[in-house]
Amino acid sequence: MNSEPTVGKPSWGHRLLSGRMLGFIAQVVVSVVMLRMVLLDVKVSDSVASLMALPTGFLVFAVGGLVAVQPLIVLRWWKVLHAMGCGQSFWSLLRITLVGLLFNNVVPGLMGQDAARVFYAGRQSGYIDAGASVLFDKVLGLLAMLLFASLFAVLHAGGGSGLLGVVPHQALAVPVLVNASTICTVAVALLLLGMLALLVPFERLLHPERVANPWLSRLLAGLVGLVVGLRSGVRMEVLGVGILSSALVYLVLAKIYQEYFVLLGFAAPGLGVLFVVVSLATAVTNLPISFNGIGIREQVNVILLVALGMSKEAAVGLAIVQYVALLVLSLIGLVVFLTMRKASVQC
């Protein structure tokens, strides 16, 4: 019998953690590079000075508005979960979401918002259903963003882009918005095709119980459960609530942008074009290619808002307001997290 110690291969868990850390490092690098590109042309001191010159009431309105829309975002997830037959309360999901925002902003490389949502919601609904609900919620949110962003290309093709409120001196923004909006239109079509594909009952072809390999059998069973859960969300009432709640969120954000234009003395675009801009900016910022959207958010603000007539410093200032709102949400999430921990210890 060989008693020599054997050196095993790294476990699956270690490989996963290493992959996440490499991804986290790559995100940090992207953020640093993108921020560097912005700061080459922008004086942050001027951005801060422009914010300090704003009325306190606006800052409260802007940060408060960004915080206040969170229940609308949670409503979309709540509707998805209920379509899957999971009876978690709205307030429970709101608490979980706030805790997820805390993790996303404090330790984004290790446990982001989605992982936190799956972990806490899964303790009551089961981790497969929780994972399916979070995934479908993300897809539905992305569909709404892209759908709203595609409005510009659709209206422009029909000669109706003026309905969104683009004035002549903002014509520089038109080709930028048309190109980006056209890409979003293609993405919307692909997402809708993917949702239609979920309706195909392919699980009838898969029989996990007939697979001899236990590991493969569990994998197939989990995959079937995930797809069945995702399919539950492909309903008109779920899609309707998701798109409507997202529209209300982006209308609030568009109004914040519009007030910001006015207070800094820039000619404000119409609420319609800012609705498209906010949707497009959110979709790009949510791409998992940077650390918490840092760098990407500033670049997108500069590209889109400068094209609409705003200065680069002011565009970066608006990104700073968004970071303040994220900080406030993180502090609220911290309070909720500590409360949940205290309650679990007492139990």
SS3 320: helix
**Percentage of residues in the chain with pLDDT exceeding 70?**
84
Query: Please, which residues have CB within 8 angstroms of residue 145's CB and are 6 or more apart in sequence?
Result: 246, 250, 279, 280, 282, 283, 286
pLDDT of the residue at 1: 46
pLDDT tens by residue, 149-161: 888 776 766 555 5
* Mean pLDDT of the 86-100 span: 89
DSSP letter string over 187-246? HHHHHHHHHHHHTS-GGGT--GGG-S-HHHHHHHHHHHHHHHHHHHT-SHHHHHHHHHHH
Percent of the chain whose pLDDT exceeds 90: 25
DSSP-assigned letters across all residues of 59-101? HHHHHHHHHHTHHHHHHHHHHHHHHTT----HHHHHHHHHHHH
Measured between its terminal Cα atoms, the distance across the chain in Å is: 50
* Tens digits of residue pLDDT in 273-322: 889 889 988 888 888 788 778 888 888 888 888 888 888 899 999 988 98
The per-residue pLDDT for range 161-172, each reduced to its tens digit, is 554 555 545 555
Nearest of 242, 249, 282, 232 to residue 76 by alpha carbon: 242
Mean pLDDT (whole number) for 28-46: 86
Unique residue bearing structure tokens 């293609």: 186
Are the C-beta atoms of 278 and 119 separated by less than 8 Å? no
Mean pLDDT over 11-16 rounds to 53
Alpha carbon distance 246, 279 (integer Å): 9
Identify the residue with better confidence: 166 or 126.
126
CA dist., res. 64 & res. 80, Å (int) = 26
**CA gap 298, 300 in Å, rounded:** 6
Query: Which range has the worst mean pLDDT, 27-31, 123-127, 159-163, 217-221?
Result: 159-163
pLDDT single digits (tens) 244-271: 999 999 999 999 999 999 999 888 888 8
**Does position 93 have pLDDT exceeding 90, yes or no?**
yes
Question: What's the average model confidence in pLDDT over 71-87?
Answer: 90
Q: How confident is the model at residue 302, as a pLDDT?
A: 87
Q: How far is the C-alpha of 190 from the C-alpha of 185, rounded, in Å?
A: 9
Taking residues 325-345, what's their average pLDDT? 85
Q: Which amino acid is present at 8?
A: G
What is the rounded distance in angstroms from the CA atom of residue 112 to the CA atom of residue 100? 7
Task: Answer whether 0.85 is exceeded by the pTM.
Answer: no
pLDDT of the residue at 165: 52
pLDDT tens by residue, 177-209: 778 888 888 999 999 998 888 888 877 777 777
**pLDDT at 346 > cutoff 70:** no
* Mean of all residue pLDDT scores within the chain: 82
Q: In sequence order, which residues have a C-beta less than 8 Å from that of residue 107 and are 6 or more positions away?
A: none
